[in-house]
Amino acid sequence: MLRRVRIGLVAALVPLALAGCGARNPVAGRVTYEGNPAQWGYVQFTPDLDKGSDGPTVTLKLSEDGRFSSAQEGKSVVPGEYKVAVTVVTAAGPQPPKVERQFQVTVPPGGLADLSFDITKKRPAKGKDEKGKDEDD
């Protein structure tokens, strides 16, 4: 009798467990900083409420080779439109310098496994002096 209860319990729980796995929506990818893998930082997926997306904000840490993976962190991203903030710490120290860039990403059902974000320092715009000449002249 006890064996039948166990088999019935397992039979009831397996579909629920599989349904939970199917609901996961992983995202993964890589961040580069000026062409090289970013070593420190994070990627934050925030639902774009203006485009009707809903769900929690998900923040993922970068590994030493610039990779991030929601599956490795046990997190899931709900399908929809996202504002993605990528922050890279460019040097160690008590107040380390950071570079942040914003992106838009659509996460489909099933997730995304090949996201790529390149974070490059913006060059300062060339200015004009009082006479209208380029400062480099």
Could you tell me the mean pLDDT of each successive run of 10 residues in the chain, 137 residues long? Answer: 47 39 78 93 96 93 96 95 95 86 95 92 54 48
Domain ranges within the chain, ordered by starting residue:
26-119
pLDDT at residue 75 in the model = 95
pLDDT at residue 123 in the model = 54
Measured CA distances, 21 to 14, 26, 70 (Å): 11, 10, 13
Fold for domain 26-119? Immunoglobulin-like (2.60.40)
Q: Which two tokens stand for residue 122?
A: 């913006």
98 touches 84 (CB < 8 A):
no
Whole-angstrom distance, CA of residue 116 vs CA of residue 68: 10
Asked whether the whole model's pTM tops 0.85, one would answer: no
> Would you say the C-alpha torsion 45, 49, 50, 51 has a positive or negative sign?
positive
Whole-angstrom distance, CA of residue 24 vs CA of residue 19: 9
